[in-house]
Structure 1
Amino acid sequence: MKRNIYLSKLTLEEAQEKFDKALTDLRINQPLKGEIVSTENSLKRVTAEPIFAKISSPHYQAAAMDGVVVRARDTYGASESSPLKLRINKDFYFINTGNPIPFGFDAVIKIEDINPVNKEICYGELKKENINELIRGEEDEGIEEIMIFSPVVPGQHIRNIGEDIVANQLLIPVNHLIRPVDIGALLSGGIEHLLVRQKPKVAVIPTGNELIQLGEKIVPGKIIEYNSKMIKGLISEWGGEAKVYEIVKDIPGDLKNVLLEATIENDIIVVIAGSSAGSKDFTAEIVKDIGEVLVHGVAIIPGKPTILGIVNKTPLIGLPGYSVSTIISAEQFLKPLIFKRLNLPISKKRKKVNARMAYQVVSRLGNEEFLRVRLGDIAGKIMAYPLPRGSGVITSLVEADGIVRIPSLKEGLDFEEEVYVELYKDMDTIMNNIIVTGSHDLILDILRNELQDNFSNYRLVSFNVGSMGGLIALKQNRTHLATAHLLDPESGEYNFPYLKRVIPQKELVVVNLAYREQGMIVKKGNPKNIKELRDLTREDIKFINRQKGSGTRVLLDYLLKKKGINPLNIRGYSREEYTHLMVASTVAEGNADVGLGIFSAARVFGLDFIPIAKERYDIIIPKDYYHSLKIQRLLNIIRSDEFKKKALSLGGYDLSQSGTVIKNE
Structure 2
Amino acid sequence: MKRNVYLEEMPLPEAQNGYLEFLRSKGAFPGRRSPEAVAVLTACGRVTAAPVFARLSHPHFHQVAMDGYAVKAALTFGASELNPRSLRLGEEAFPVDTGDVLPAGTDAVIMVEEAHQPHPEFIEVVKPVFPYQNVRVVGEDIVATEMIVPANHRIRPVDVGALLAGGVNEVLVHPIPRVVIIPTGDELLPPGASEFPPGRIIDFNSPMLAELVREWGGEPLRWAIVPDDMDRLEEALRQGLEMGNIVVLNAGSSAGREDFTAPVLERLGEVFAHGVAIRPGKPVVLGEAKGKPVLGIPGYPVSAVLAAELFLRSLLAAYSGQETPVRDRVTAVLSRRVVSPAGVEEFVRVKLGRIGERVVATPLGRGAGMLLTLVRADGILRVPRFSEGFDAGKEVTVELLRRMEEIENTVVVIGSHDLALDIMANYLRLLFPRASLSSAHVGSLGGLMALKRGEAHLAGTHLLDEATGEYNVTYLKRYLADVPVVLVNLAYREQGFIVAPGNPKGIRDFSDLVREDVRLVNRQKGAGTRVLLDYHLRQQGIDPCQIQGYDREEYTHTAVAAAVLSGVADVGLGIRAAALALGCDFIPVAEERYDLCFLLPYWRGQVGEWLRAVLAHPEFRQAVMARGGYDLRDCGRVIYQQGENGI
Length-normalised TM-score, structure 2: 0.96
Q: Distance in 2 between matches of 1:93 and 1:633?
A: 60
**Matched AA of 2:382:** R
**Matched AA of 1:252:** M
Q: Distance in 2 between matches of 1:200 and 1:622?
A: 52
Give, in angstroms, the shift of residue 66 of structure 1: 2.1
* Residue in 2 that maps onto 1:623: 600
* Residue in 1 that maps onto 2:77: 76
Give, in angstroms, the shift of residue 562 of structure 1: 2.2
* Residue in 1 that maps onto 2:203: 225
Structure 1 window deviating more from structure 2 (569-578 vs 389-398): it is 569-578
* Residue in 2 that maps onto 1:301: 279
Give, in angstroms, the shift of residue 292 of structure 1: 0.7
Structure 1 window deviating more from structure 2 (481-490 vs 169-178): it is 169-178
Give, in angstroms, the shift of residue 594 of structure 1: 1.7
Q: How does 1:445-484 map to 2 (within 5 A)?
A: 445-484=422-461
**Matched AA of 1:44:** G
**TM-superposition CA deviations, 1:622-641 (whole Å, max 9, x none):** 11222111321112111111
Q: How does 1:75-224 map to 2 (within 5 A)?
A: 75-117=76-118, 144-216=121-193, 217-224=195-202
- Stretches of structure 2 lacking an aligned partner (at least 5 in a row): 642-646
| Count, aligned residues | 640
* Residue in 1 that maps onto 2:255: 277
* Partner SS state of residue 627, structure 2: coil
* Partner SS state of residue 663, structure 1: strand
Give, in angstroms, the shift of residue 232 of structure 1: 1.0
**TM-superposition CA deviations, 1:514-544 (whole Å, max 9, x none):** 1111111122222323222223233332222
**Matched AA of 1:22:** F
Q: How does 1:552-571 map to 2 (within 5 A)?
A: 552-571=529-548
**TM-superposition CA deviations, 1:365-412 (whole Å, max 9, x none):** 100111111111112011111111111111121111111111111011
1:607 matches 2:584: yes
Give, in angstroms, the shift of residue 158 of structure 1: 0.3
Q: How does 1:434-449 map to 2 (within 5 A)?
A: 434-449=411-426
1:268 matches 2:246: yes
- CA RMSD in angstroms comes to 1.5
Q: Distance in 2 between matches of 1:574 and 1:368?
A: 31
* Partner SS state of residue 580, structure 2: helix
Q: Distance in 1 between matches of 2:286 and 2:346?
A: 20
**TM-superposition CA deviations, 1:205-252 (whole Å, max 9, x none):** 111111111232212211110111111111111111111111110000
* Residue in 2 that maps onto 1:134: none
**Matched AA of 2:60:** H
Q: Distance in 1 between matches of 2:202 and 2:137?
A: 62
**TM-superposition CA deviations, 1:303-343 (whole Å, max 9, x none):** 11011111111111111111111111111111111111111
**TM-superposition CA deviations, 1:467-520 (whole Å, max 9, x none):** 011111111111110110111000111101011111101111111111111111
Match of 1:546 among 509, 515, 523: 523
Structure 1 window deviating more from structure 2 (653-662 vs 165-174): it is 165-174
Q: Distance in 1 between matches of 2:46 and 2:466?
A: 67
1:322 matches 2:323: no
* Residue in 2 that maps onto 1:632: 609
| Contact kept in structure 2, 1:32 and 1:342, CA below 8 Å | no
Q: Distance in 2 between matches of 1:525 and 1:212?
A: 30
**TM-superposition CA deviations, 1:583-609 (whole Å, max 9, x none):** 111111122222111111011011221
* Partner SS state of residue 171, structure 1: strand
Q: Distance in 1 between matches of 2:337 and 2:109?
A: 69
* Partner SS state of residue 526, structure 2: coil
Q: Distance in 2 between matches of 1:92 and 1:492?
A: 93
* Residue in 1 that maps onto 2:14: 14
Length-normalised TM-score, structure 1: 0.94
| Contact kept in structure 2, 1:114 and 1:147, CA below 8 Å | yes
1:402 matches 2:402: no
* Residue in 1 that maps onto 2:565: 588
**Matched AA of 2:524:** Q
Q: Distance in 2 between matches of 1:491 and 1:543?
A: 28
Match of 1:521 among 498, 504, 507: 498
Give, in angstroms, the shift of residue 571 of structure 1: 2.6
| Contact kept in structure 2, 1:62 and 1:160, CA below 8 Å | yes
Q: Aligned pair in 2 of structure 1 residues 149, 655: CA closer, same or farther (>3 Å)?
A: same
**Matched AA of 1:61:** H
* Residue in 1 that maps onto 2:644: none
* Residue in 2 that maps onto 1:663: 640
| Contact kept in structure 2, 1:520 and 1:611, CA below 8 Å | yes
* Partner SS state of residue 411, structure 2: strand
| Contact kept in structure 2, 1:355 and 1:384, CA below 8 Å | yes
* Partner SS state of residue 649, structure 1: helix
Give, in angstroms, the shift of residue 574 of structure 1: 2.2
* Residue in 1 that maps onto 2:37: 36
Q: Distance in 2 between matches of 1:590 and 1:345?
A: 50
| Contact kept in structure 1, 2:36 and 2:173, CA below 8 Å | yes
**Matched AA of 2:40:** T
Give, in angstroms, the shift of residue 32 of structure 1: 2.7
Structure 1 window deviating more from structure 2 (70-79 vs 468-477): it is 70-79
Structure 1 window deviating more from structure 2 (446-455 vs 570-579): it is 570-579
Q: Distance in 2 between matches of 1:568 and 1:369?
A: 36
* Residue in 1 that maps onto 2:26: 26
**TM-superposition CA deviations, 1:562-583 (whole Å, max 9, x none):** 2333333333222221111011
Q: Distance in 2 between matches of 1:395 and 1:314?
A: 33
Q: Distance in 2 between matches of 1:117 and 1:644?
A: 71
| Contact kept in structure 2, 1:547 and 1:577, CA below 8 Å | yes
**Matched AA of 1:326:** A
Q: Distance in 1 between matches of 2:19 and 2:496?
A: 57
Q: Aligned pair in 2 of structure 1 residues 316, 559: CA closer, same or farther (>3 Å)?
A: same
**TM-superposition CA deviations, 1:69-117 (whole Å, max 9, x none):** 2221221221122223334323322222111010011111223333343
Give, in angstroms, the shift of residue 144 of structure 1: 4.7
1:389 matches 2:390: no
* Partner SS state of residue 343, structure 1: coil
**Matched AA of 1:75:** T
Moved over 4 A (4+): none
* Residue in 2 that maps onto 1:289: 267
**Matched AA of 1:29:** F
**Matched AA of 1:108:** V
* Partner SS state of residue 589, structure 2: strand
- Stretches of structure 1 lacking an aligned partner (at least 5 in a row): 119-142
* Partner SS state of residue 3, structure 1: coil
1:354 matches 2:355: no
Q: Aligned pair in 2 of structure 1 residues 260, 83: CA closer, same or farther (>3 Å)?
A: same
Q: Aligned pair in 2 of structure 1 residues 369, 159: CA closer, same or farther (>3 Å)?
A: same
Give, in angstroms, the shift of residue 435 of structure 1: 0.7
| Contact kept in structure 1, 2:64 and 2:100, CA below 8 Å | yes
Q: Aligned pair in 2 of structure 1 residues 26, 590: CA closer, same or farther (>3 Å)?
A: closer
Q: Distance in 1 between matches of 2:110 and 2:376?
A: 57
Q: How does 1:340-351 map to 2 (within 5 A)?
A: 340-346=318-324, 348-351=325-328
| Contact kept in structure 1, 2:28 and 2:288, CA below 8 Å | no
| Contact kept in structure 2, 1:521 and 1:587, CA below 8 Å | yes
Q: Distance in 2 between matches of 1:58 and 1:24?
A: 46
Q: Distance in 2 between matches of 1:427 and 1:184?
A: 30
Q: Aligned pair in 2 of structure 1 residues 28, 540: CA closer, same or farther (>3 Å)?
A: closer
| Contact kept in structure 2, 1:458 and 1:630, CA below 8 Å | no
Percentage of pairs with the same residue: 47
Q: Distance in 2 between matches of 1:102 and 1:241?
A: 51
Q: Distance in 2 between matches of 1:43 and 1:107?
A: 38
Give, in angstroms, the shift of residue 415 of structure 1: 1.0
Match of 1:497 among 474, 492, 510: 474
**Matched AA of 1:345:** E
| Contact kept in structure 1, 2:342 and 2:388, CA below 8 Å | yes
